[in-house]
Structure 1
Amino acid sequence: MAQKKTIYIIDDDLMQNEIHTLILDKVYPDYQVKTFTRYQDALDHLTIDRPHLLFLDLNIPGEDVRTFLRQLKDMALDTDVYLISSRPYLADTSLLTECPAVKDFISKPLLEDKLRFAMGDPV
């Protein structure tokens, strides 16, 4: 049996993680969803899972998104990253150019149409 592709959600909001996981499980049942509340926890697993897609919350207290993105870039994984935030109007657009894996910003919550956009499916 082929191993499922993996999607990571890195967000300190446990309720958002649960909601996003439920939606992803419904829309993409062939993918395994893993959630993390800290950047380092996700980094520790990235080389094992090599996720297909990563949703990254910009505002995790005590965490530095730029450091995470630099480390991700150094790992040279083929993983698309979407930065997520409940306040996208405050997002630093320079992050889009600092790490080639970062594809776009998406505002929370991650509803089905936004997920399909990130996955490259027609909306």
Structure 2
Amino acid sequence: MAHDPAYRTLRRAHRQFGVRATAGAVGGFLMYVLLSSFVPALMNRTLGGQLTLGLTLGLGQFVLMGVIVWRYLVHHRTHVTPVVRGLRRLARHQEAAARARVGAAPREGDHRRW
């Protein structure tokens, strides 16, 4: 199964999405930490009432994670699930064919006397 082109495509798509999602999540968090550390005056800027830019960007981390999870679900539904279904069908077919070959072959010690 590991040599099947569909399996390789599945692994490549899953890996590429994982790298992009991780880069987005870590990049967003790193940006927030760096801005908080090196530009505190910007992060303390009031947007309205008690709401600051830093608090807004901090809450934006939750939004970023939500978007990444949503994109993962969409990616999984559109790119991964169809390939997995095809690979499962192929594996079941190969397993049934192997079972049929084993069932049709004479077994050792199976002597029929007429």
Alignment TM class, shorter chain as reference: under 0.3
More strand by share: 1
* Bigger relative CO (Cα 8 Å, ≥ 6 apart): 2
More helix by share: 2
TM-score, length-scaled by structure 1: 0.19
Q: Quick check: which has more Rg, 1 or 2?
A: 2
TM-score, length-scaled by structure 2: 0.20
